[in-house]
């Protein structure tokens, strides 16, 4: 059900989770995977309420983990909630996605460390938000990634998806004004510079260049 997509599928998966939570049989209780699957089902649902539904399940999981530490959310669960919010669109959704990301950053659980997927999904949430401050917020997250990467956290090293989402956020923010497009262009240059210094780093792809050039022409 979880991977079939749609609201009805998400509701059915959550209904099964509800039954597991209410079960008095110690052998039939929800697992970390049970919660993860339910969150992913909502992320795939296409519902405008996907983020709220996924975060509500996440909060139930946090409560349950106080009695059962094995239910503590891992990076996959955190990422699922972020994805659910990212797919909703709008500034509120982007704010909630970033709030979940910050919980990851503060988490002392080694299994729930913020990683490039979570960062990239949060940046994508801002790119889809339609907010005038999307570029600034995406840039701020990218800067946090650079700082963590410099400190030795390789899981936080930006990749092509990350940079592409930042470029997208800038192009779509500030009504695509010159400042926003220039910053998007700067990101491409940054990628080129990092790749020149380290061959393992991603260079801008054709779609990124087309996006920025189209934005310049539209001014």
Return d(Cα 60, Cα 37) in angstroms, integer. Answer: 14
Return d(Cα 100, Cα 58) in angstroms, integer. Answer: 10
Radius of gyration of the chain (CA): 19
**Confidence tier at 2 by pLDDT (50, 70, 90):** low
CB atoms closer than 10 angstroms to residue 124: 24
What whole-number percentage of the chain has pLDDT above 70? 97
Return d(Cα 214, Cα 83) in angstroms, integer. Answer: 28
What is the b/e burial string over 176-192, where b = at least 16 CB atoms within 10 angstroms of the residue's CB?
Answer: beeebbebbbebbebbe
Model pLDDT for residues 74-96, shown as the tens digit of each residue? 999 999 999 999 999 999 999 99
Model pLDDT for residues 123-142, shown as the tens digit of each residue? 999 999 999 999 999 999 99
Q: Is 201 helix (H, G, I), strand (E, B) or coil?
A: coil
**Confidence tier at 200 by pLDDT (50, 70, 90):** confident
Q: How far apart are the first and last CA of the chain?
A: 46
| C-alpha angle 180-50-98 in degrees, rounded to nearest 5 | 40
Model pLDDT for residues 155-188, shown as the tens digit of each residue? 999 999 999 999 999 998 766 689 999 999 999 9
Can you give the pLDDT at residue 36? 97
Cβ 48 vs Cβ 88: under 8 Å: yes
Report which of 112, 119, 110, 155 is spatially closest to residue 140, judged by C-alpha positions: 119
Secondary structure (DSSP) of 70-136: GG---HHHHHHHHHHHHTT-SHHHHHHHHHHHHHHHH---GGG---HHHHHHHHHHHHTS--TTHHH
The torsion angles phi and psi of 125, rounded to 5 degrees, stand at: -60, -40
Report which of 109, 168, 90 is spatially closest to residue 135, judged by C-alpha positions: 168
pTM attached to this predicted model: 0.91
Q: Show the tokens assigned to 141.
A: 């997250």
Res 199 pLDDT > 80: yes
């Amino acid at each position: 059900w979880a991977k079939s997509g749609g609201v009805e599928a998400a509701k059915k998966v959550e209904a099964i989770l509800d039954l597991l939570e209410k079960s008095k049989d110690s052998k039939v209780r929800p697992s970390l995977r049970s919660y993860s699957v339910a969150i992913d089902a909502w992320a795939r649902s296409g519902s405008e309420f996907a983020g709220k539904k996924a975060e509500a399940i996440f909060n139930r999981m946090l409560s349950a983990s106080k009695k059962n530490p094995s239910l503590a959310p891992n990076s996959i669960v955190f990422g699922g909630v972020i994805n659910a919010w990212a797919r909703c669109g709008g500034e509120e959704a982007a704010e909630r996605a970033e709030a979940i990301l910050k919980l990851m950053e503060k988490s002392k659980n080694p299994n729930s460390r913020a990683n490039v997927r979570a960062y990239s999904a949060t940046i994508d949430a801002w790119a889809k938000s339609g907010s005038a401050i999307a570029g600034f917020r995406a840039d701020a997250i990218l800067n946090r990634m650079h700082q963590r990467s410099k400190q030795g956290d390789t899981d936080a090293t930006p990749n092509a998806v990350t940079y592409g989402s930042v470029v997208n956020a800038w192009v779509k923010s500030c009504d695509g004004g010159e400042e926003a497009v220039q910053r998007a262009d700067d990101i491409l240059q940054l990628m080129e510079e990092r790749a020149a210094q380290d061959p393992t780093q991603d260079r801008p792809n054709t779609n990124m260049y087309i996006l920025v050039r189209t934005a310049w022409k539209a001014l």
